[in-house]
Structure 1
């Protein structure tokens, strides 16, 4: 594990966000020492798909790339139901332009596609035809993979929260090499042998 922890990680929260998609990521980033701050459209509470009521720590308009280590964008029904979350995609552009990474999963990848952020980066999502429906110009860069990192941007589909977390940990240097591989094998494949590798790493 990287012993140097920097600025907070910012988790976008909005109505209908998919609870299950970022739990591995935020839990283990917090264990690694990162502060997790939630960012909503405003400071008003939002409600997830699972009915969780979340009070954002700050409003999107107050978020600056220079204050963050990473912006995480979960999926949500609203990504495809309206343009309400388009400001989050625009913020993702500002982050990437500033050299600060962004991680998007499920419906958030469609929002980034509409913003043009997937046109020139290798990426993945729930399915290629799902992103094609946005009319974006990046179909040729679509990769059939559990999660993809390119140009400071991580993408994954809704069934790959563990692979999504793995890419975040790799990008931020939270876990590396055999430890990163063991973490993934434990939580994705239920590989009991991987647990011993993680225990040895914690004991160092």
Structure 2
């Protein structure tokens, strides 16, 4: 796999919910993927919900699907207070149309709902009622009560499920073999101590 094909793009913007993508980006980095942050501009730093300042690697306008293997859209208060982040939902439309995966968690699912990107795809979010209130959303019949949902190349998850979100991303990208991914999820989501030896054995074999 080339360096370009392993590049992951993480959307960052003011009020970005720091905790929602930590598992995803940390473990993808360990698996050899390169994380690049994408902001509204490359010049202006953004401040996360946790008060952390991030200088984006690149501007959204400069991001092309052919240069990426995944676009991650995080939750943020801005998704619920206006249309400032609508360009990120439109970039997701561009990615999906090009056959490049998109993973959205928390408020980002509302942005996709308003853009009509969930109408024909199975998806989840914080709650069905949260999406029902989004203007233009017509996907209620495809809503799934689950921690995280993958439909083709689109992943969605609610705000309380960063580990399930990461699991779906890893599965879609083939980051871990199925048995190792199962052990990873059991350890980080369920605190199942029996999963630890499985991960250690996989690491020794070069599977993790």
State TM-score, norm by structure 2. 0.95
- The structural deviation recorded for 1:176 is 2.5
Check whether the contact 2:6–2:32 (CA below 8 A) recurs between aligned residues: no
Root-mean-square deviation (Å):
1.0
Number of residue pairs matched by the alignment: 202
Unmatched tracts of structure 1, length 5 or more: none
CA distance in 2, matches of 1:20, 1:82: 22
CA distance in 2, matches of 1:145, 1:110: 16
CA distance in 2, matches of 1:79, 1:28: 26
CA distance in 2, matches of 1:4, 1:163: 27
CA distance in 2, matches of 1:116, 1:167: 22
Residue matched to 2:9: 10
- The structural deviation recorded for 1:177 is 1.3
Q: Secondary structure in 1 aligned to 2:129? A: helix
- The structural deviation recorded for 1:4 is 7.6
Q: Secondary structure in 1 aligned to 2:122? A: coil
Residue matched to 1:65: 65
Which contiguous aligned blocks of 4+ residues in structure 1 show a shift greater than 3 angstroms? none
CA distance in 2, matches of 1:167, 1:86: 24
Residue matched to 1:148: 149
Q: Secondary structure in 2 aligned to 1:87? A: helix
- The structural deviation recorded for 1:175 is 1.1
Q: Secondary structure in 2 aligned to 1:39? A: strand
1:176 is aligned to 2:177: yes
Check whether the contact 1:106–1:158 (CA below 8 A) recurs between aligned residues: yes
CA distance in 1, matches of 2:90, 2:200: 41
State TM-score, norm by structure 1. 0.97
